[in-house]
Every structure is written in structure tokens, then in C-alpha cells.
Amino acid sequence: MKTVWNIIKKEVTKPVIATNANISADELNDFFADVGEKVNTRLGPQTSDKAMQLLEKSLPKTDLTLTLHPTSAFEVSNIISRMKSRKNTHCS
């Protein structure tokens, strides 16, 4: 398991030389999406199977289900109007 995290750390912390400080959301998404694929390629399919088996053993067995019910524009509008608004200081 430690080897897996070392590979992930190596892939994620590779230096990236940016000539343009403005990066698009798509470029950022591509970077992080590629990390998973690179790690998976380096580890091979047997490791992926072992990871899934470990997760299945570690997680509790539950019968939880998710049920979605129809809604209306009126209901969504009411929920939004009850939300407190706050100024986002992270956006310019």
C-alpha cells in the first residue's frame, strides 16, 4: 500500500513549468485525470484488483439506497431563497 502512495505522490508532485499563469479548468482537469491513469498503468491490473478487494473488506456492508423523487422549479426556488447569501472573498 505504501508503494501505491509513493507512486501517487511522485506523479502529483512533478514540477510543472508554466509559461502562462492562467490555466483553464480543462487543463487543470486533464492534469489530475492523467495522474490516475499514469498510476494505474505503473501499478498494473493486478494491483487494481487487490485494491478493490481491500476496499471491499474494509468497508462495512450496508443496504443503503438512494432514491430520487420528482421536484419542481417552485420547490428549487424556495430552497434557494432560504439560503443565506455571503460574499465570496476568493473570487475577483
pLDDT in tens, 16-35: 666 666 778 888 888 887 87
Q: What is the DSSP letter of 85?
A: P
Structural domain boundaries in the chain: 2-61
Q: Report which residue type is found at 40.
A: N
Percent of the chain beyond pLDDT 70? 76
Stated pTM of the model: 0.27
- Residue 43 and residue 57: Cα distance in Å, rounded? 20
Give the pLDDT confidence of 20-77 residue by residue, as tens digits. 667 788 888 888 878 777 777 777 666 667 777 777 777 777 777 788 899 999 999 9
pLDDT for 48 equals: 61
